[in-house]
Structure 1
């Protein structure tokens, strides 16, 4: 056997061992797997999707082109209350450029002297995770300077009190570049969420007004093709893997 082949086999062997060891560790720690790496068992595929939410090479893959006429999100069949959720995700590529605002630490926008939002044009894609199936309690996955993990539906609501708006705004941008894998650890207890992104604390005990007591985990569709068939900017070109949940009894 050639040396290069030996190296490849060693790398693959180590990778398989680490995946198996991680699965054993999660199971021993009380986690349940939400994705078997083979198919979408345990998930509700949108009616009429036509194969755009699919499994490719052991990961959940989405191309932002679901043909469903209604809800185009992918969600778990089961519902959950309090939990710790671990999930890896990556933006495969940007679907175009987008004028992105700059969000300040208190959740407000940076503006010019006339009070107009300042934006910068940058490549972007957009998805997210709805906690307990609630669209307003969505942890964003995107390429904004504020970083992933923010709760846009609450932060961007003008009726949100300042202290709550600041709480759902990430402390830092902990995202890796487009194309690289990221890891969320999401801890939801009652109406409070704490989020780690790539081992960085981005939200701490952030309040989520209006979140229901139970609901599914939802992976968001965003954007999609326009009339010309081309994807709109900030479409959901995303993948997910290593999805584990640990229900927390109250």
Structure 2
């Protein structure tokens, strides 16, 4: 058989391309979100039809994979449906949101429409672009490639297309190294990422966005250590949709106090009113709840707290007052966010309180008066605090 030498480069290129394509599998099927977990959004935030994943942008949050990934090549097409739209792909993320924010801890691959640049101040140093920034968020770390601001890697070229055109991303993660190709060329990335194994996620952040042709090719493991591996999901379920009070019983007399504000539940100005009780009852369980104490918070009075098992006396109280566990001004301060993690088994309670990034842990224990299942509640003491990232897992 004769073979023209002039065709050899084309032949070899086609073989190489075919080999590169081998091993990719779709991350979505055509018409449902099987294999993915709605981390902290409303049920209607994410949908899929004919292979196109749609996000309405409300609330701020994430749709993540059911399992973790380590080394991989991920390809996805995306487009914003409005000018200045904001979204992203989270790489090597945590199963639930980081303390005090609606985002997973991990590496974010930015998906930002060009209209967002109107918010940039040209007199100040550059701190973002709309062409494929890569950066760690909320406790993650990375050594950025190329031009950077802190740990944020700026793209070397401006290659993304504006709304409503489709863009193509190719994200490669291998042994803690992450690179992003925008519409066919690598432009940004970083080394020594921590984490380097975790969940992958699509982001909802205020604007409608679509994804399609999302596929992945897994690469051989490089055996990451435990300290660079995200924690595994333990079965956490979000109790708040981020859009309304489905699953909660809003007291009629104080409905104007409780405000659904994206990923947070805020207390408006006014006199103290009844707690916000969950519609469902829980027995043995573990609860996570973040509390934001504004600088105006008066810790000489009760500020925020959680009630459990249907008991009106708070289990945990931040500030001063009557409760099973009182965490006062000697342990907390205004202007900070705190994460409460309470574990209830029988009538025994263990509470872990941490600051943002889960630093400065403080532990408390107590005995409740009841072992019976009951609802949980967010307390209202008349101060303008806010609650967020409310998760529960039954034990």
The TM-score, its normalising length taken from structure 2, stands at 0.40
Deviation at 1:140, TM superposition (A): 0.4
2:321 maps to: none
Deviation at 1:168, TM superposition (A): 1.5
Deviation at 1:130, TM superposition (A): 0.7
CA distance in 2, matches of 1:149, 1:55: 24
Deviation at 1:28, TM superposition (A): 6.2
SS in 2 for 1:86: strand
Tell me if the contact between 1:126 and 1:236 (Cα under 8 Å) persists in the aligned partners. yes
Q: Does 1:140 align with 2:110?
A: yes
- Higher relative CO (Cα under 8 Å, sequence separation at least 6) belongs to 1
Unaligned runs of 5+ in 1: 1-24, 95-123, 223-234
Tell me if the contact between 1:147 and 1:174 (Cα under 8 Å) persists in the aligned partners. no
1:203 maps to: 188
Q: Does 1:249 align with 2:216?
A: no
1:128 maps to: 88
Q: 1:84 aligns with which of 65, 73, 88?
A: 73
Matches within 5 A, 1:188-227: 188-203=173-188, 206-207=190-191, 209=193, 211-222=194-205
Unaligned runs of 5+ in 2: 1-17, 95-104, 118-128, 222-395
1:184 maps to: 169
CA distance in 2, matches of 1:48, 1:213: 25
SS in 2 for 1:30: coil
1:173 maps to: 158
Q: How many residues align?
A: 177
Tell me if the contact between 1:168 and 1:207 (Cα under 8 Å) persists in the aligned partners. no
Structure with higher helix content = 1
CA distance in 1, matches of 2:145, 2:134: 14
Structure with higher strand content = 2
Tell me if the contact between 1:171 and 1:203 (Cα under 8 Å) persists in the aligned partners. yes
